[in-house]
Structure 1
Amino acid sequence: MDIYLMGSVFSWFSDPSNVVSMLKAVFGLGFVIFVHELGHFLVAKACGVKCEKFYVGFDPPLRFLPSALFKRKWGETEYGIGIIPLGGYVKMLGQDDNPANAAQEAERIRRVREEGGGPATEEIDPRSLPAKTVPQRMAIISAGVIMNVIFAFIFATAAYFWGVEYRPTVVQGLSPGTPAWEENAFRPGDKIIQLGRNGTPSEYLRFEHDLLNYIQLSNGEPIEFLVRNGDEEPRWVEVTPRRFGAGVRAMYRTGIDIANPTSISAERATIPDFVADQHAEQFEGGGRIVALEAGGERTEVHSFADIKRALIAHRDQPMTYVLDRSSDSAEADSSAVTASNSVRIEVDPAPLRQLPVGFQVDEIVSIQNNSPADRAGLRKGDVLLSVGGVPANNAFELPHVVDQLAGQTVTVEFLRGTETRTVDVEPVMPEDYEADPMSTNDVPIHSLGLVFHATNELASINPEFSSLGLEPGDEIVGFDIVTSSAKERAELEEKYHTLIRWIEFSDRAGPVTLDDVVGRLPVGTQFKLTYRRGNDVGEATLASAASDEFHSPKRGVNLAIESYPVRTATSLGDAISLGLRETWESITKVFVFLKKLVTGQIAVTSVGG
């Protein structure tokens, strides 16, 4: 464990972007503290207190190194930059940060003042902090926070004057199994323009600062959103957030997804070893996807939701990506794209990558309102046994089986309690293919509008691989990738760093994680599965293969958000107004958060940072 942690630390520091981020954090924290201490310093000077030191960072005495990177005395004050770049301080005459000493000094001063006159009064330096009146000391103590607020207003005003980039609250999707997904009240393209009945309508609500804060402070109580889709009349939507995760990772969520990537990533245009990676050179030029063509149909792309719908509907057909590479592609309409600034790239279908084993389908954990499953009468707790005559013995193949039945009336056999029942249902063509990114055990069937739990238990084994020694009922307790040498392992870790990290924690991961890893690594990758059978533990090695029947909607084109909208003040007065609003909202959020924390409405385990 110690070796692994050391390796992780060195790996983290070897990434220049991490070092830059750390330096930015140090500089930002140092500047905030500088402003804070400047407030104390200026008011202390105004009150006649002698300031002996004013430092950014700390300057502890060191044996082999200087305590300060810079120091110089102007007048009675020594100014400097400490060798430890975190923090900062003002040293005032008579100041003692030891609470016990401070209490003793306060008592001594009280006695001297009560006695009055005499030589004892000479012991108090009139320029020391304790010698000042209570209002003066209160002003000095509070000046740091006040200065932070003043600078926050100044910087917020300046930011809005020049333009602030923000993530708009336009709904692009809903994470399966979450409250907003279950309510099924949002549609792609819905723009949230007001938070709560008592909120203020705004076309510029921000995802992180406004929406997420509103959800986190809800304490799991029902919250309302005023939404508008295009030119339609606004409507109110109510959702009750739920806590997901555990411990410090626990957080309230609604499941609203506002990500809208429609451009090719500038850093890496294709994902390694996916079918699109065969055309990496063509995609490297970047550009915005303006249309997708397959099966004689053309889908105009205005949002990520359009991309997902096309990829799902034509997953088993070649797909042509129409890209706009003009300089103003972010604003260009697909009808304005010409042959001179567009690129057409055809990408083959992507066969589903899977292992020759199937995981057990367990109970339904979520059903979407007014979905085929809901209309058919399926409930949470039901266990699917078969769909359209196909046994539900492969958790990750089942959604693809049902998708192929879209538009047909099929019989679903399920278990409710101890009773086996059947019901007719008509799956629909799904508009999404993503699972909830925070779940390791839940699998959605979008064409039915339900999410079921997948267990670590094997339900089926491909007969061609019966010699592996695996049996239905075996519990998978861990997995790893099989490599022939340390060099091959190192190359794999360099190429698939994130996936390898998932595998390292496979003992805590669920079957969804394993399926995701299998789907991202090349066909033929060998996996070592550790399984438990009763009291015995064994291992089996098996390779991934390409399905002859099912295809993945994911072809490996790496998308990114080209840019976010920018809000720029129309005048200096508007900038000041926006700066005041930003500052006031930040202050009130702090007080609301502290109130909920003290009253127990927010768990201490949910706090981090």
Structure 2
Amino acid sequence: MARSTRPTRSLGPGGDKEVDFSLVALFSASSLATFLAILKALVALGFVIFVHELGHFLVAKACGVKCEKFYVGFDIPIRIWRLRLPSALVKFQWGETEYGIGIVPLGGYVKMLGQDDNPLNAEAEAERARKSADEDAAEVDKNELAEKDAVAAEEPVELDPRSYVAKNVPQRMAIISAGVIMNLIFAVIFAAVAYRMGVKITPCVVAGTSAGDPAWQQAWPSGSQIVQIGRDGDPDSDLRFQWELRYKVAESGIGENVKEMDILLRAPDGQEQWKKITPTDRLKQQLGMVSLGIRPPSSSRLSGTTPFYRGSAAAEASPPLQPGDLITAVDGIPLAETGSPNTYYGHQVLEQLAAAIDSPMTLTVQRTGIDGSTETVEVDLAPAPFYSLGLEMKIGPLVAIQQGSVASEVGFQAGDELVTLNGEPIGDPLTLSQRVGTLAGEPLEFTVTREGSTVAIDVPPLGPELNIPYMGPLPVASIESLGIAFEVTSQVTGVQPDSSAGEKGVAAGSEVVSVQLRVRGEANKAYVAGNYGERYEEEMVIGQQGVNWMSIHHRLQHLLPDTEVLVKLQHADSDPVVISLAARPRAETYFSDRGLVLTQMHRQHTAASWGDAISLGFRETREKLSEVLRVLKMLVTREVSVDKLGGPITIVRVMGIESSEGFSRLLLFLTFLSANLAILNFLPIPALDGGHMIFLLVEAVTRRPVSERIQGIFTLIGVVLLLALMIYVIFNDIARI
């Protein structure tokens, strides 16, 4: 009796439906750099696919199976009208196997005797694997042959001993699982080599906290470093912001209730303290995430391409700032080194500028010339004007009180609504911290409404105000010297008479629905197209994708000259109206962000030995496997939308970014892709290795193979579903372009 003939051994439409490794022939490259980036991505993806198929091939050969083809890509004949394309870019015969690179780069496959990736060809392929027990006899007369044929019709046929279907269940299981095992082995190898070469990591250093969020409430100081997450293990200074921290925080948010975390925090003075902290879920509904509210560290080095925002105070610095400048001091005060020579944290620069928001400052920069020589340059940087449309928003309730702050001592409570400051209306919430800063050293009196009652709160003299820049994405501002964080709504409660909004007659009581920017002038349009793309002028709708009045106000600070601001306002029950406004500097008011573009802080993490490198390789692979499993779980539980899935275009784009950061970063991304392929390919879905493993398990239990007809039906269903998913993620990719 013939055994199952449906072991699909391909990576693509006919087999291992790894959607993320597909459709890489979209390179209508507009430049050599784009073409080379795509080519590099294709080669890297092709190698991951090659490794997968090599696993199947080697184990199949070890089990004595005849392998007729080994292809990366599919050798499918393609005809476009009268033009006939070759089915393979390269192919050659070596021994009994044809090796090649197919013209359709959707995966790869190993063709074994006794199997075919197309269920419609399964029956014909099965016949190839069968042979009569006496077919090799040299001399048989016609009568004897007829007699033997009659007997053979009543007896089970014999299988070709070199066919896949002739092998026992354990051998076929080994062949099926070999691709996944090979991917896991090379995932470790990729990561180990990367760490031995040295990997750039972003350390878990706190560069600032977002007003009102958990880390802000606990007053985590800038420059602190997270050295351990969870009580298991030992402190580690090489924890990575984008991996250990990010994903541990994300894991705490899985499920109905956010889980508390234990974090060992090392203060700038070296003292370590365990913190119990629960991430906030205020972003979960809008952005699908939980957060501690920590800003990742930046370097004090300016971007090598765009060192400042055009239209900002930094753009008017004298002498001009240049790409790659390294800031080493602010107003003569040297920055503290990070522990690595000539490396400084960017938050030191930003905080010193914010503390002197209304004062000109001098930056000391180290500048490297084309010939490699360095020079020290003193750069004067003026205060940044506070650009405003003239709209003053209603202040919302206090969302948090900082632990150990003045506010916690004098009796402020979350939920209080600020009404007056020293007898005057509280006014524009976006300028409140600056107004409090001008009263530093003087006693203050606030009145608040609390549960329908008015409460007066006396505040002792405060120290200097920090005026930290908005970090988002929630509409929350703060008074750092006092220790309160309050919401900023999008409801207009006042209009400055000499502003653009005042001139257009905007009335209090309106609600801002959305804002849209319109760039004027060919030079400005070209700049936006080259630096921001079409999304710069997209409508920003309040309440969608982290858009709020504070994020819009931040955008207004770095507008190009003559930019038109279209504001959609809703008043009471009337229809929304769109008004064209202009952002103008507000008298005696300044913005804390002067427009410097700092690079992300990186530190080289190099394994001391190959033993350490292999250990890190196993850790990296384990983390990537956990990450893929976590995302799959969130997809099943609908905690993450399928709209977030990326396809081949996203992979090529991300791989281009990673490869630009160095070969070791590319190797780590290949580790991620290998783990991704290993798990997705072993899901119990027909047409994937996991689906074939299910068929083999059934055969092992029942001691008879699943019928070819049933396997064919399920395989076709799996292929259709996976093709649909492939098309869906490709459309997702196109929509993001």
After TM superposition, the score normalised by the length of structure 1 is 0.84
Deviations 1:141-167 (A, max 9, x none): 111111112112222222222222211
Structure 1 CA distance, aligned partners of 2:280 and 2:123? 47
Query: Deviations 1:542-567 (Å, cap 9, x if unpaired)?
Result: 32221221112222232224x62212
C-alpha contact 1:502 1:513 (8 A) present in aligned 2: no
Q: Is the alpha carbon distance of 1:152 and 1:467 closer, same or farther for their aligned partners in structure 2, counting shifts above 3 Å?
A: closer
Q: Which residue identity is paired with 2:335?
A: E
Residue by residue over 1:23-53, the C-alpha shift from the partner in whole angstroms, topping out at 9 and shown as x without a partner, is: 5544433322221111011111111112222
Distance 2:485 2:33 in 1: 38
1:491-530 paired onto structure 2 within 5 Å: 491=526, 493-494=528-529, 497=532, 501=536, 503-506=538-541, 508=544, 509-522=547-560, 525-530=563-568
Match of 1:538 in 2: 577
CA contact (8 A) 1:292 1:301 kept: no
- Equivalent residue for 1:414, pick from 438, 441, 448: 448
Q: Provide the C-alpha distance between the structure 2 equivalents of 1:249 and 1:71, rounded to a whole number of angstroms.
A: 48
Residue 309 of structure 1 contacts residue 431 of structure 1 at CA under 8 Å; is this kept in 2? Answer: yes
Structure 2's unaligned 5+ residue stretches are: 1-25, 134-150, 338-344, 647-737
2:346 to 282, 304, 310: 304
Q: Contact (CA 8 Å) 2:317, 2:382: kept in 1 or not?
A: no
Distance 1:13 1:282 in 2: 35
Alignment of 1:553 onto 2:592: yes
Quick check: 2:74–2:103 contact (8 Å CA) kept in 1? yes
Q: Deviations over 1:121-149 (max 9, x none)?
A: 44633222222111101111111111112
- Equivalent runs, 1:115-134 vs 2, <5 Å: 118=152, 121-122=156-157, 124-134=159-169
- Aligned residue for 1:78? 98
Q: Give the AA of the match of 1:41.
A: F
Residue 388 to residue 571, structure 1, CA distance change in 2 (3 Å): same
Is residue 290 of structure 2 the alignment partner of residue 252 of structure 1? yes
Decide whether the 8 Å contact of 1:299 with 1:310 is kept in 2. no
Contact 1:523 1:546 in 2 (8 A): no
Q: CA deviation at 1:581?
A: 3.7
Q: Distance in 2 between matches of 1:581 and 1:48?
A: 35
Structure 2 counterpart of 1:31, from 47, 60, 75: 47
Deviates more, 1:364-373 or 1:452-461: 364-373
What SS is found at the alignment partner of 1:174? Answer: coil
What SS does the aligned partner of 1:515 have? helix
SS of 2:234 mapped into structure 1: coil
Question: Counterpart in 1 of 2:218?
Answer: 183
Matched residue SS, 1:34: helix
- Contact 1:479–1:530 (Cα < 8 Å) also in 2: yes
Give me the whole-angstrom Cα distance separating, in 2, the residues matched to 1:248 and 1:92: 50
Give the distance between the partners of 2:359 and 2:268, measured in 1 at CA: 32
SS at match of 1:257: coil
3-state DSSP of counterpart to 1:325: strand
Q: 1:581 to 1:555 in 2, by over 3 A?
A: closer
Q: Summarize deviations over 1:343-391 as a string: whole Å, max 9, x none.
A: 1111122221112221121222233222333333222322222223342
2:77 paired residue among 47, 51, 61: 61
1:603 aligns with 2:639: yes
Determine the structure 1 residue equivalent to 2:208: 173
Aligned letter for 2:357? R
Residue 75 of structure 1 and its aligned partner are, at CA, apart by: 2.3
Q: Is the 8 A contact 1:179 1:241 kept in 2?
A: yes
Name the SS of the counterpart of 2:333 in structure 1.
strand
2:301 to 263, 267, 279: 263
Amino acid at match of 1:361: I
Percent of aligned pairs with the same amino acid: 37
Mapping 1:201-212, distance limit 5 Å = 201-212=235-246
153-162 or 217-226, larger mean C-alpha shift? 153-162
Mapped contact 1:301–1:307 kept (Cα < 8 A) = no
| CA distance in structure 1 between the partners assigned to 2:440 and 2:479 by the alignment | 11
Partner of 1:382: 416
Query: What CA distance in whole angstroms lies between the structure 1 residues aligned with 2:582 and 2:285?
Result: 36
Report what 1:468 is aligned to: 504
Deviation by residue 1:425-483 (Cα, 9 ceiling, x = unmatched): 354434461223323x3333333333322222211111235441210001222333456
Change (3 A) 1:300 1:400: same
Mapped pair 1:157 → 2:173:
no
Helix, strand or coil for the counterpart of 1:574? helix
* Aligned equivalents of 2:523, 2:346: Cα separation in 1: 36
Compared CA separation, residues 21 and 253, structure 1 to 2 (3 A)? farther
Q: Which moved more, 1:229-238 or 1:315-324?
A: 229-238
Higher strand share: 1
Cα distance in 1 between the residues matched to 2:98 and 2:519? 61
Are the counterparts in 2 of residues 274 and 350 from structure 1 also a CA contact under 8 Å? Answer: yes
CA distance in 1, matches of 2:526, 2:327: 32
| Inter-partner Cα distance in structure 2 for 1:203 and 1:28 | 31
Deviations 1:224-252 (A, max 9, x none): 11222356342211111233545694122
The aligned counterpart of 1:227 is 265
Pairwise CA distance, 1:174: 1.5
Deviates most, 235-244 or 519-528: 519-528
- Alignment partner, residue 613 of structure 2: 575
In 1: Cα distance, 2:426 partner to 2:34 partner? 45
Q: Is the 8 A contact 1:523 1:544 kept in 2?
A: no
Alignment of 1:281-320 (within 5 A): 282-284=320-322, 286-293=324-331, 298=333, 300-302=335-337, 303-320=345-362
Matches within 5 A, 1:436-475: 436-439=471-474, 441-464=475-498, 466-475=502-511
Q: Which amino acid aligns with 1:323?
A: V
Q: Which residue of 1 aligns with 2:57?
A: 41
Deviation at 1:100, TM superposition (A): 10
Contact in 1 for aligned 2:515/2:566 (Cα 8 Å): yes
**Partner of 1:141: helix, strand, or coil?**
helix
* 1:133 maps to amino acid: N
1:76 corresponds to which letter in structure 2?
E
Q: 1:141 aligns with which of 133, 158, 176?
A: 176
Checking the alignment, whether the CA contact within 8 Å between 1:368 and 1:449 is kept in structure 2 is yes
Structure with greater Cα Rg = 2
1:350 to 373, 376, 384: 384
The one of 395, 408, 421 aligned to 2:429: 395
Aligned position for 1:332: none
- Distance in 2, matches of 1:177 and 1:42, equals 57
Match for residue 367 of structure 2 among 313, 321, 325: 325
Write out per-residue CA displacement over residues 164-219 of structure 1, whole angstroms, 9 at most, x where no aligned residue. 221111222212232222222x2222222221111333222122222212222223
| Alpha-carbon distance in 1 for matches of 2:249, 2:93 | 51
Greater shift, 59-68 or 206-215, is seen at 59-68
Change (3 A) 1:13 1:357: farther
**Which amino acid in the other structure matches residue 168 of structure 1?**
P
The 1:598–1:274 alpha-carbon spacing in structure 2 relative to 1, beyond 3 Å, is: closer
Q: Distance in 2 between matches of 1:319 and 1:142?
A: 64
Shift of 1:271: 1.6
Query: Which of structures 1 and 2 has the larger relative contact order (alpha carbons within 8 angstroms, sep 6+)?
Result: 2
Q: Which residue identity does 2:383 align to in structure 1? A: P
Amino acid corresponding to residue 311 of structure 1 in structure 2: L
In structure 2, do the counterparts of structure 1 residues 238 and 348 end up closer, same or farther at CA, with 3 Å as the change threshold? same
13-22 vs 540-549, which moves further: 13-22
Q: Give the alignment's TM-score, normalised by structure 2.
A: 0.70
- Cα separation, 1, equivalents of 2:161 and 2:31: 54
| C-alpha distance 432-142 of structure 1, shift in aligned 2 (>3 A) | farther
Quote how far apart the aligned CAs of 1:22 are. Answer: 5.0
- 1:269-284 to structure 2, matched below 5 A, reads 269-279=307-317, 282-284=320-322
The question of whether the paired residues in 2 share the 8 Å contact of 1:288 and 1:323 is answered with: yes
CA drift at 1:531? 1.6
Unmatched segments (≥5 aa) in structure 1: 1-9, 328-338
- Which residue identity lines up with residue 319 of structure 1 in the other structure? M
